[in-house]
Homo-oligomer: A and B are copies of this chain.
Amino acid sequence: MARLQATYHIRCDAHSIDERARAVAVEQSVEMPVAAIEDEDVLSEIVGRVEGIREIGTDLYEAKISLSAATVGRDAGQLLNMLFGNTSIHDDVTLHDVDVPDDLARAFGGPRHGLDGLRQQARATRRALTCSALKPQGLVAERLAGLARRFADGGIDYIKDDHGLADQAYSPFAERVAAIAGALRGATARYVPSLTGDLDAMRSQIAIARDAGVDTVMIAPMVSGLSNFHRLVADNPGVAFLAHPSFAGAARIAPPLHFGKLFRLLGADAIVFPNHGGRFGYSPDTCRAIAQTALEPRNDLRPCVPVPAGGMSRERVPEMLDFYGSDIMLLIGGGLLEARERLTEATAAFVAAVHNYPYG
């Protein structure tokens, strides 16, 4: 029977690590005393197996634990539940990595568009993609549409909602999409509205967006629930999905796994994540690993576009392109909005920095 290969990092002393790793394997599978299990198939297949343990630091161990793919079925929420449900509450353990069998990867399907699809959308054959964000929340739809128009006039590829924009009274989703899609008519820039609420609400938001000609949306999978995220991806093959890291609380799940593997596996075409040197504490190594994980060949899934963000500025564009290469979308929000009445010019300067970079 096919198995998932999960890797956990466990803070523990040498004396206890064997027992602690076995405890994690049990917690993430049968969650009961193994001695009380009578069924031979459960003992041989369903109980998590410690496949290997190695020391990776002082009182820090890597434990490889395999879990039966049959416990996951084909549900994304259950994948998370089996990988890290109860163990997320143990603060000595982080979920570091997972390899899923190819048939499970095929069932989830990964990005439906991914890097190549977004490149085609933006008619950007080699260069990096560009993105900004509509903020602050609290503005009425027309004001947001005005900002969008000025971003578009600056030549940007994607204009996403701030992830705080939901379906609030001050700019209801339907009104906002109509105003912004209207303001962008004829422009090459794509509006990327943020989906929020329960599955029904997100479905009707996608319908509203598609009616307005929108073909790319944003979602925060950790808020919406992974099963609902994946359901929307599966039901809307014509729509590209940008995943937002809200509530990822990624200190307990390794960020490359969380964004580059899991969100990609479930169909994110692009993943927003906190860049190093911005408002968040990820190291350059972590960021490089996220981008590599999103792009590298795995389970025959399409590459997913890395979108490093969070306090970026135009001045950092060359350095970021040196660092990440061109298979990337650059997202600058507040750093452009700071230009206020010169928003279009600031956007154009950002776009020029990306377009004119000497790609190898």
Contact = CB atoms under 8 A, between A and B. Distances in A.
A200 B197 contact: no
A137 B81 contact: no
Interface string A137-152: 1110001000000000
Interface string A61-74: 00000001011110
A227 B248 contact: no
A222 to B, nearest CB: 8
A166 interface: yes
A5 interface: no
A168 B73 contact: yes
Interface stretch (A23-31, A52-60, A316-324): A23-31
B248 A88 contact: yes
A230 B223 CA distance: 13
Given A169-B70, A223-B225, A224-B77, A88 B200 contact: no
Contacts of A224: 77, 225, 227
A175 to B, nearest CB: 14
A225 B232 CA distance: 14
A246 B81 contact: yes
Q: How many copies does the complex hold?
A: 2
B198 A274 contact: no
A15 B274 CA distance: 25
Contacts of A36: 334, 337-340
Contact of A231 (B85, B88, B89, B200): B200
A86 interface: yes
A339 B201 CA distance: 47
Interface residues of A, number: 85
Nearest to A37: B136
B136 A196 contact: no
A164 B31 contact: yes
A135 interface: yes
A78 B135 contact: no
A321 to B, nearest CB: 24
Interface stretch (A40-48, A185-193, A210-218, A296-304): A40-48
A91 interface: yes
B169 A46 contact: no
A197 B33 contact: no
B136 A81 contact: no
A346 to B, nearest CB: 11
A55 B177 CA distance: 44
B39 A73 contact: no
A153 B114 CA distance: 55
Contacts of A31: 135-136, 162-164, 333-334
Interface in A248-265: 248-252
Interface of A: 23, 27, 29-33, 35-39, 41-42, 45-47, 68, 70-73, 75, 77-78, 80-82, 84-86, 88-92, 133, 135-139, 143, 162-164, 166-170, 196-201, 220, 223-228, 230-231, 245-252, 274, 279-281, 310, 333-334, 337-340
Given A31-B334, A72-B168, 7 more contacts: A29-B137, A31-B164, A32-B162, A77-B197, A81-B163, A89-B274, A199-B200
